[in-house]
Amino acid sequence: SQQGEEDPQALSIQEGENATMNCSYKTSINNLQWYRQNSGRGLVHLILIRSNEREKHSGRLRVTLDTSKKSSSLLITASRAADTASYFCALTPGNTPLVFGKGTRLSVIA
């Protein structure tokens, strides 16, 4: 399968804690992206990391990519209730369009 697999499927944390979710995949990729989806809404792009990059930051978000292990992680620091959402990794395997995983549901409890 070209799909990424997020782990865990669901995560519940207290406000202020860090949240880490992982994405594993099996194919070679050009880049890997992370998206957020609030309940009932469209997806919003968070970060794109290229296959030759190891780490990227955007505000409270930190994404790492380990192509030797075929895995990526998304870290949200100092989480807020507003971070409650589903988070998806999406792969670009070769020249094919983006392939989305099934997502991690994050609940941040105030």
Partner 1 sequence: NAGVTQTPKFRVLKTGQSMTLLCAQDMNHEYMYWYRQDPGMGLRLIHYSVGEGTTAKGEVPDGYNVSRLKKQNFLLGLESAAPSQTSVYFCASSYGPREQYFGPGTRLTVT
> Which residues does 17 contact at the CB level (< 8 Å), separation at least 6?
79
- Binds partner 1 (CB under 8 A): choice among 25, 33, 73, 79: 33
Give Cα 90 distance to the centre of its chain: 8
25 touching partner 1, by CB under 8 A: no
97 touching partner 1, by CB under 8 A: yes
100 touching partner 1, by CB under 8 A: yes
Within 10 angstroms of residue 110's Cβ, the number of other Cβ atoms is 9
Q: In terms of CB distance, is 18 or 38 closer to partner 1?
A: 38
Q: Do 84 and 107 meet the contact criterion of CB atoms below 8 Å apart?
A: yes
Residues within the interface to partner 1 (CB under 8 A): 3, 30, 33, 40-45, 48, 88, 92, 95, 97-103
